[in-house]
Amino acid sequence: MNRFYFEKLVVTGGGHKTTVIEFKPGLNFILGPSNTGKSLVMDCLDYVFGFYPKKDRPSKIVDNNYGYERITLHLVTDNGTVILERKIGDTKISISGTDPTVDHGIYSVGNTAKKNINALYLHLLGIDEPHSVRSAKEGSKTQSLTWRSMLHLFFIRQADVARESSALLAPGSVGYTASAAVLLFLLTGKDANDLTADEDPKISEAKKKALIEYIQKKVTEYARRRETLEETLSACGIADPRSSVVLVRKEIEELQAQVDAAARESQQLMAQIFELNGKLSESRTVAHHFDVLRQQYQSDIRRIGFIVDGASAIRPIRKRIKCPICGEETERVQDASFIGASAAELEKIKGHLAELSEAQKSVERQQENIIAAIHSLEDKKKALDALITEQLQPQLAVFEKKLEQQLSLIRLSSELEMVCQSETQYRSELFSKETAETSKPSEHNIFEDYDYDIIHGFEEKLREILQASKIGGAASARLNMENFDIEIGGFKKSVSMGGGFCGILNTITTLAMSGYLIDLDRNAPGFYAVDSSLTQLSEAEHKEQSDTIKQNFIEYLISHAHERQVIIVEQTKRMPFIPDESEENGIHVIRFSRNRNEGRYGFLNEVYNPEDQ
């Protein structure tokens, strides 16, 4: 995280010898008697920080510049140096240096200027994007995050050190809510965009009007749909569609059962027809074979009869032939004995033919019976198919259509119920919205956005410094969220502590918070400066020096000198002791003597109190 601290403060002009205050990275003491310009050092630093004098909050360097003309502040950053020079009485600040991340040129102390000093200091902290924080309890008002709205946590002027109000909240015009919101941003990074903002009343009223118009439109739509559905259901003449559906489904089941039974019987008849057709085919094959055999018998009868008839009409014939073997002639007599055998064979074939005729007649009768059975089965099947296609299926289609109508009515009834419920609901919402008051901006307690884990860490660091300083009741110290101030032993600072204790407690509180921000690696500078934190603190004279709050507080600062730059501006006589200059221990002491003959008289060269001139 970006850090920066002071290197030196230079005041010049007016013919005076240049005034220089050099700071070291560790613990810096600016000590001296009254009226030596110690607080003027703080005023000069604040002036370069962008302070703009007002009637109720003047600047000492502007009103009492003793002829000096310019204030120059040298800062050390993580990337180099930044040099800021402001002419006394002017609103412009000139920027130069070696830090390459800083744009050189002229800046204005006004936050609305294109190049303003606020943006520069936020950049040095690592905050380059604009942020807004909540600025009031009521509504959603916000204001921009600024350098000066957080400066009181790291830079405490004399006028503010002993105040009874919380040191964690900025004095002046920043505002209670805004100041707490700035610290919340530093601790967590949450700005107004991360917090729930109250809606503008005009926007709320417009949203309410638009919502009422929308609800009215929905009521009208549902009312029209309800009327349409009621008319449709009334026209159908069915009081209870669900009961009607039960009856229709029963009818459909019965018809379907009849269709299924007829279809099964038709299939059985078809199987029987197929079987009889098979037998008929076999019978016809047999009949064909019989016809072929008859033809063969008839042919044999004609052939044998021709032979017998021819043989009976001729006498035996003698014929001389020559032997093919011996060559002698011999006489052959034609044998007629075969005629009797042929006649016998003829009678036998005629008998087979007669038997074949009887068998053919039997086959014909069998075929007639099969054909008659097939015709009978086909008639039955035709009747069943006609029953299915011409009677049962049309009836089933009628009932299915009727069922679909009944189911459609049921759907319409269900829709009607839903429409009635929705219409009632929208009417109820319309009544609620019309009778409801437009929401007014609610009060938002910014401390509700704080998380205890964050506060707990701060309290631990606070108690550490309080205990090291030996402040009574330190172990019980906590942050009271009602007034956002520390509480010790159950008592609020503002009602239990005097001005002197308020000064040291405010110093420790801001020292702890600024150090805690660094511990969290959050946005915070690398310096802490406070003016006159010990001035008003008086302690019991009987106490040993080692037991005093002043002694222990200074020793705590010395033991932590290397952690960051701390600047303590204090009257010499209020110090419990004067630390020794030690670069090794990180201690740097700047002393004003208010003695023209001894050391450095005061802050500004050639400026003396009238009584010392």
Higher pLDDT, 82 or 368: 82
Q: What is the pLDDT of residue 311?
A: 67
Q: What is the pLDDT of residue 296?
A: 85
Exposure string over 51-80, b if 16+ CB within 10 A, otherwise e = beeeeeeebbbeeebeebebbbbbbbbeee
Whole-angstrom Cα distance, residue 371 to residue 365? 10
Are 525 and 510 in contact by the 8 Å Cβ rule? The answer is: no
Rounded to whole angstroms, what are the CA distances from 266 to 272, 273, 274, 604?
Answer: 10, 10, 12, 128
For residue 548, which amino acid is it? T
- On the question of pLDDT at 27 being above 80, the answer is yes
Question: pLDDT tens digits for 112-163?
Answer: 888 999 999 999 999 999 999 988 877 678 899 999 999 999 999 999 999 9
Higher pLDDT, 200 or 31: 31
Mean pLDDT of 88-92: 93
Partners of 588 in the β-ladder: 28
Whole-angstrom Cα distance, residue 192 to residue 170? 18
Nearest residue to 7 via CA among 84, 69, 61, 63: 84
Exposure string over 307-329, b if 16+ CB within 10 A, otherwise e = bbeebeeeeeeeeeeeeeeeeee
Question: pLDDT tens digits for 46-76?
Answer: 999 999 888 777 888 888 778 899 999 999 9
Q: What is the pLDDT of residue 349?
A: 81
Per-residue DSSP letter, 193: G
Question: Taking all residues of the chain, what is their mean pLDDT, rounded to a whole number?
Answer: 86
Q: Which of 174-183, 292-301, 430-439 has the lowest mean pLDDT?
A: 430-439
Other Cβ atoms closer than 10 A to 208: 16
Nearest residue to 530 via CA among 30, 11, 74: 30
Mean pLDDT of 24-29: 97
Q: H-helix or E-strand containing 507?
A: helix 499-519
Q: Which of 166-175, 281-290, 302-311, 420-429 has the lowest mean pLDDT?
A: 302-311
Are 236 and 411 in contact by the 8 Å Cβ rule? The answer is: no
Going 571 to 577 to 582 to 587, the CA torsion angle's sign is: negative
Whole-angstrom Cα distance, residue 564 to residue 515? 9
Q: What is the pLDDT of residue 355?
A: 82
Q: What are phi and psi of 332, to 5 degrees?
A: -110, 135
Mean pLDDT of 327-340: 62
Q: What is the pLDDT of residue 63?
A: 81
- On the question of pLDDT at 291 being above 70, the answer is yes
- On the question of pLDDT at 342 being above 80, the answer is no
Label the pairing between strands 587-591 and 565-571: unpaired
| Token reading at 437 | 């008051």
Whole-angstrom Cα distance, residue 174 to residue 119? 17
Rounded to whole angstroms, what are the CA distances from 34 to 215, 420, 592, 602, 609?
Answer: 75, 86, 10, 10, 10
Per-residue DSSP letter, 437: P
Question: pLDDT tens digits for 423-467?
Answer: 888 888 877 877 776 666 567 788 888 988 899 999 999 999 999
Are 113 and 146 in contact by the 8 Å Cβ rule? The answer is: no
Whole-angstrom Cα distance, residue 60 to residue 58? 7
Neighbour-count burial of 461, counting CB atoms closer than 10 A to its CB (0-12 exposed, 13-18 middle, 19+ buried): middle
pLDDT tier at 370 (50, 70, 90 boundaries)? confident
Nearest residue to 59 via CA among 159, 198, 166: 159
| Token reading at 116 | 């303003």
HEC profile for 542-570? CCCHHHCHHHHHHHHHHHCCCCCEEEEEE
3-class secondary-structure state, position 600: strand
The CATH topology of domain 241-301+334-435 is: Helix Hairpins (1.10.287)
- On the question of pLDDT at 469 being above 80, the answer is yes
Q: What is the pLDDT of residue 573?
A: 93
Could you tell me where the beta strands, DSSP code E, fall in 470-551?
478-480, 485-488, 491-492, 527-531
Calculate the CA 283 to chain-centre distance.
Answer: 87
- On the question of pLDDT at 196 being above 60, the answer is no
Q: H-helix or E-strand containing 10?
A: strand 4-12
What's the whole-model pTM score?
0.64
For residue 310, which amino acid is it? G
- Tell me which range, 121-135, 202-216, 426-440, 492-506, is most confidently predicted by mean pLDDT: 121-135
